Structures are given as structure tokens and as C-alpha cells.
Amino acid sequence: IRNSFDIREGNLYVEATLGNATLALDETMTPGGAESREAYGLVRGPGGSWVRAGLLLQPFGLRIWDDDAFTRKVSGSNYASSDLGVELGLERGRFGMLVAIANGTAGAADDNNAKQVSGTVQYLSRPFRLGASGLGNVGPESTRSGAGGFFGTRLGRLTLLGEVAWFAERLDKTGRTLQSIVALGELDLLLTRGLNLKLVYEYHDPFLDVTEEEKTRLRALAEWFVSPMVNVSIGYLAQMAPPQDRQGNLDALTGELHVFF
């Protein structure tokens, strides 16, 4: 049993726009010192298109807030895995598309001549969102690929989100291919203005050819948006994993304060 106060993150956002060009910076200030999550230049083109370059989040799946979610962590599309590259985007009516070419080394120096390609397409039609994502990355010791789909819908005060993704990594030395699956389901109920109840289910099978390696999480959360600038939440996380994964079997009771200024 462990209880402690902790600063999970403190971020600085800066954006400057002049005509069709934008410079943006998303900087983590604490804990552990300053570190860029995103730093890029963006130029808007005709017909709802744009191009941006720099340190970018890679487009894959739903960009939910929780970086520790299996769908975010395993895919590499999270704030801890931003990468140097170029992204092309297009939004036309109900259709949207993102395609990015990056080093494939999560912000580090490029260690090979190949690049990671990832992308997302989605269709928006109130109250539905449907999308699909894919990625491919040839590394110095393995080749990784992935594909997934996601959806979102709102029914009155109820919001539903879902995502499923499959990944495969082929090891060059052995020729073996490791396959994994991640899934997420989320239900949000707006009780009253500013008060939201959230229930999240997560699933991760890291090795499809190995039995009893599955991990699951169930999170219940109450969120109170005191004002547009202040958010308070309290939640409980229940985890199940193989017995040897001690960390993956720990439950947690959390309370969080988010302040935006």
C-alpha cells in the first residue's frame, strides 16, 4: 500500500499565428524538468489542407487524455513518444485525414534510413465519429506494423467511445512475428452541467500466441468542472494481470486537481 502527493504534469502552451502560418510549442515543465512534447510550424493550404513539420504526435487512433492507456502506450501515439517528422492534413466537410512521415525513433536521433509512416482517416456525422488508423516502421532490428479502428457517439447525456487495434513486430534475427491486441471502451454520463461520471474498460494481450498473458483495467471516475479553468476528479482503478506482473495487479484510488491558466 502506498499513498503520496504527486505532481503528475505541468505544461506550457504557446502559439503564434500570422496569416496562414502558425508556430506552436507544447512544453512539459514538471516533473523532471523542461521537455518538448510538440514543437512545430504549420502552414494552411487550399481546401482545408495543411502541412506541419517539427516534433509531432503521431496520428493513430483516439487521442484521449490518458497517456497510460493501453491504446496510447502500445501504439506510440502519446506525449511520451512524439517524433520528428512531417504531417499532411485535410478536412473537407465530414471527412478528415492525417498522414505523417517521421524518424520512427520517438524524438531521438535517426538510427536508420527508413521512416515510420502513420495515418488516420475519419468520418464525422453528428452524433457519430468513425475512423481507421494504420502505421508501419522499419527499424534496425525489427519491422513494426499496426492497424485499428475507433468510434464515438453521443446519445443525449451519454457519450460512448471505443477503439481496437492490432500490432505485429517481425524480429529480423529470428524471423519471429510478435502480435498483440489492445482495446478500449469508455462511457461518460453527464449528470448535470460540470459533473461527469466516467467508466473505462481496457484490454491488452501482448502476445497472441501465449495464453494467460492478458491484462485488463477498469476505471471509475467522477469529474467536477468547477469552472472552465479548474477540474477536480476522484477515481478508482482496478487492474488484473499475470501473477508475475506485480505492478499490473495493483489497484489505485486517485484524486486529481487540474488548473488551466
121-129 LR contacts (CB < 8 Å, sep 24+)? 121/95, 121/96, 121/97, 122/95, 122/96, 122/97, 123/94, 123/95, 123/96, 124/94, 124/95, 124/96, 125/94, 127/153, 127/154, 127/155, 128/152, 128/153, 129/153
Comparing 67 with 154, which gets the higher pLDDT?
A: 154
pLDDT value for 104: 82
Q: Check if the beta carbon of residue 118 is closer than 8 Å to that of residue 59.
A: yes
How do strand 158-171 and strand 142-155 relate by DSSP bridges? antiparallel
> pLDDT by residue (tens digit) across 42-97?
999 999 999 999 999 999 999 888 888 999 999 888 887 889 999 999 999 999 99
Whether the pLDDT of residue 107 is over 60: the answer is no
Residue position matching grid coordinates 446519445: 155
In three-state secondary structure terms, 70 is: helix
> pLDDT by residue (tens digit) across 155-209?
999 999 999 999 999 998 888 999 999 999 999 999 999 999 999 999 999 999 8
